Amino acid sequence: MTLHIDPARLDEATSGPRRYQMLIDGKWTDGEVGLEGERVSPGHGIVVSRYAFGSEADVARAVAAARRAFHRGPWPRMKAADRAAVLLKTADLIDARREEIARLDAIESGKPISQARGEIAGAADIWRYAASLARTLHGESYANLGDDMLGVVLREPVGVVSIITPWNFPFLIVAQKLPFALAAGCTTVVKPSEMTSASTVVLGEILMQAGLPEGVCNIVLGTGPEVGAHMVAHRDVDMVTFTGSTRVGKATVQAAGATLKKVAMELGGKNAQIVFPDADLEAAVDAAVFGAFFNAGECCNAGSRLIIHKAVAKDFLAAFEKRAARVKVGDPLDDATKVGAIITPEHLKKIENAVVDATADGASVALGGAGLTSAAGQYMTPTVVTGVKPDMAIAREEVFGPVLSVLEFERVEEALRLADLTDYGLSAGVWSRDIDTAMTVARSVRTGTVWVNTFMDGYPELPFGGMKQSGIGRELGRNAVEDFSEAKTIQFHRGPRTSWWVED
């Protein structure tokens, strides 16, 4: 099958790509050693962005700026209400530039423009939620330690935070980290993926317009080895928050351990949707298609495993394949597109190889299975792999593409065993009208999130993160600002000393 993508849909085809600089200490700047990068749109095959890339020297400049802003600047000492006002202004400015930001994410990551618009709106909502938490962060007092003693526990910002974000949700994921760090009074250095940096640079413009003081948010562009590694290892960084692959997450934790930094990791997932015979099967089919193919499967939360009861497996899969065949794959800038482009040609090949390896292990391809040819970019057909056994790589390892692996079960215990057979523990879904069944699975499965009769809903009020090798800590939720703080205990003694260590 051949896709016909019109590169002329991009203004860049005639006007040329925009060049983006880094933001360090409130000033737009090139890198000290003159590194450059560019981004070819995965959906159109045209260069859409050029970047000034940074190096270790630029990381040092950015961390120094953040350190000065933390120790001598107004932000950590500002009233919480005033910090909240900046975050609220940022949310308003994000809304005002929603179409522009959505388009940048669509052309750089390959995601559908309609999906990107929803992500930008969701990001603005998270900034508003973080603003509300800025005003509720509080400590504790203990007046029960005796008549002459008062204990106070303060919550202070952790300090300088390195924030490293991935390519699959460029604007949304930085919104799950940065506003909460700022709400706590921290200063930051942000590195977006070198493939999808443009929307984060626009966020820097918005923050300056919203009144964020110089040096509080610094944005350094570049690769992991040239920039990210130095942001993790730098001695003046107090905390690292990272979203990406489990492989890179492990290396990040190890590097951060050299200086015992606080770390927060949101990593990979091999998430199951478990469907019982008594479920609303029509709703479950639609949610399973969504879960498997949303964002072209390039999603840590993707429902990449369908664990289906044998009694309904045949009919369910027939309905699934029929619905999946109607999913429009195509130009990310087409409002009707549901599945856009794959991030790079190399990643497309990795996805295809995972399917080939599965068939070599004895599985079957029931739908799709190969990339779509296009002169303008790289795309992948929604794919269903059946006959999957628990010991196959495709049942255990993250493919990160629009590929669904199907496993069958008969008993609840068997479904739970299949759900937990991977090293990941990010999320799961359970479909059943029976409350006992739903509660048994939800309480037993080892994941950070369980959806019951729905899938991949998200709200700022609810914490997000994984168990096992899916991460460390949680994002969002009412404790999100507290996670960027440290507890400090202060003890006050009143009156004459009563417990002399050395008697006169």
Q: Report d(CA 386, CA 405) in Å as an integer.
A: 6
Active site members? 266, 300
Q: Provide the greatest CA pair distance for the chain.
A: 94
Strands 239-243 and 262-266 come out as parallel
Task: Map 90-137 to HEC letters.
Answer: HHHHHHHCHHHHHHHHHHHHCCCHHHHHHHHHHHHHHHHHHHHHHCCC
Q: Report d(CA 452, CA 439) in Å as an integer.
A: 9
Q: What DSSP string runs through 320-380?
A: HHHHHTTSPB--TTSTT-SB---S-HHHHHHHHHHHHHHHHTT-EEEE--SEEB-SS--EE
Q: Which residue type is seen at 297?
A: G
Residue for token pair 């739903």: 438
Taking alpha carbons only, the member of 94, 243, 311, 413 closest to residue 86 is 94
Backbone angles phi, psi at 90, to 5 degrees: -60, -45
- Contact (Cβ atoms closer than 8 angstroms) between residue 152 and residue 139: yes
- In the three-class reduction of DSSP (H, G, I as helix; E, B as strand; rest coil), residue 308 is classed as strand
- Angle formed by the axes of helices 80-96 and 113-134, nearest 10°: 170
Taking alpha carbons only, the member of 15, 88, 35, 42 closest to residue 339 is 42
* Cβ burial, residue 184 (10 Å; 0-12/13-18/19+): buried
Half-sphere exposure (Cβ direction) of 236: Cα atoms closer than 13 Å: 16
Could you tell me the CA-to-CA distances from 404 to 1, 149, 247, 362, 401 in Å, in that order?
Answer: 20, 61, 22, 16, 9
Backbone angles phi, psi at 199, to 5 degrees: -70, -30
Output Rg (C-alpha) for the chain, integer angstroms: 24
Backbone angles phi, psi at 255, to 5 degrees: -65, -40
**The two three-digit tokens of residue 118, written as one number:** 């929803």
Q: What DSSP string runs through 156-194?
A: EE--EEEEE--SSSHHHHHHTTHHHHHHHT-EEEEE--T
Half-sphere exposure (Cβ direction) of 267: Cα atoms closer than 13 Å: 26
